[in-house]
Amino acid sequence: MKQRYLRGLKVSAMGLGCMGFSQSYPPFPEKSEAIQAIRRAVELGINFFDTSEAYGPYKNEELVGEALSPCRDKAVIATKFGWDIPEDAASYAGKPFGLDSRPAAIRKAVEGSLRRLRTDHIDLYYQHRVDPNVPIEDVAGTVSELISAGKVLAFGLSEAGADVIRRANSVCPVTAVQSEYSMFYREPEKEVMPVLKELGIGFVPFSPLGKGILTGAMTRNTELPENDFRRYIPRFQGDNYQKNLELAEYVSALASQKGAKPSQIALAWVMAQGENIVPIPGTKKISRIEENIGSLGVSFTPEELAAINAKLESIAITGARYPEEQMKLTFTGGK
């Protein structure tokens, strides 16, 4: 497996987003199947695994911890803090809850994550969403203390804006920023990615396959399951979805020309945008993990990339990437 660096953190060139094993993308596999998939990823050379206390909540960290416990020394585990998860968390599955990145909350969260992940340290600890009620300097300072204590090795931010990234980095070096990024959503190119390049910070795109629309598996007649969270996303609804399939169809046509799968084209394009980029496609199936790894063998000439980017500019993506209320609550970007 090729390796890349998120600042000083050496990881496989592609990671595995684990959220889908227990949230958002039903049906969910049996625990034994999920553990088998995660361990197969390790066998195939993936060492970078992404989870969060909020996924489930808590269930995903427990799953990842159990799956990686026999091979913890081979794994780089990233998890996230920053939520006000109620004590009776099980009753809140699938429901929104508030933000809480106060220092005391972070110190409490890390202990829970360490226990569930069956480890004595977290390799990369992200603030999951910017908390407008807590100065980012206080957040960074608290994580710096956890690093000094050996409980955390590196600090990350998720969905943070350029100003917040700079301010956080001035207090505690930011190793990586995680944000949605793909052919389907390119907003980070405007402000975030230039700052990351300037400061030497790694970039970890989630949903690099456009929440599945770039895999070739979704067609104009696709019906999403009732409890699939994409049913509530504007860009997957009605006319928006039908218009957005123009991009999916272009990627599929490009894949045919290159002798690759659509997912491999989409992932190879993301990785071609910079050596500091490590995508974390999520899946529940071993076959998809193997398919995604195949993207590491796909390359583009400068001329091909220029043509692809010109085509992407000509395709308008319609609809918001999340429901309006969710955007208001949890995607402030720190602005």
> Is 55 among the residues known to form the active site?
yes
- Contact present, 6 and 176 (Cβ < 8 Å): yes
Q: What is the DSSP string of 246-297?
A: HHHHHHHHHHHHHTS-HHHHHHHHHHTT-TTB----B-S-HHHHHHHHGGGG
First to last CA, the chain: 38
CA-CA distances (angstroms) from residue 238 to 222, 245, 307? 11, 11, 29
In angstroms, rounded to a whole number, what is the distance separating the alpha carbons of residues 31 and 63? 7
Helices and strands: H and E segment counts in the chain:
11, 9
- Contact present, 57 and 92 (Cβ < 8 Å): yes
The active-site residue, picked from 25, 55, 241, 250, is 55
Task: Rounding to the nearest 10 degrees, give the CA dihedral for residues 274, 277, 281, 287.
Answer: 70
Structure tokens at 99: 């933000």
CA-CA distances (angstroms) from residue 223 to 25, 55, 264, 273? 13, 24, 24, 32
What stretch of H or E contains 303? helix 302-314
Rounded-to-5 percentages of helix, strand, coil across the chain:
45, 15, 40
In angstroms, rounded to a whole number, what is the distance separating the alpha carbons of residues 65 and 138? 28
Sorted by sequence, the CB contacts under 8 Å of residue 113 that are 6+ apart come out as 53, 61, 79, 81, 122, 125
Q: Which sequence positions are flagged as catalytic?
A: 55
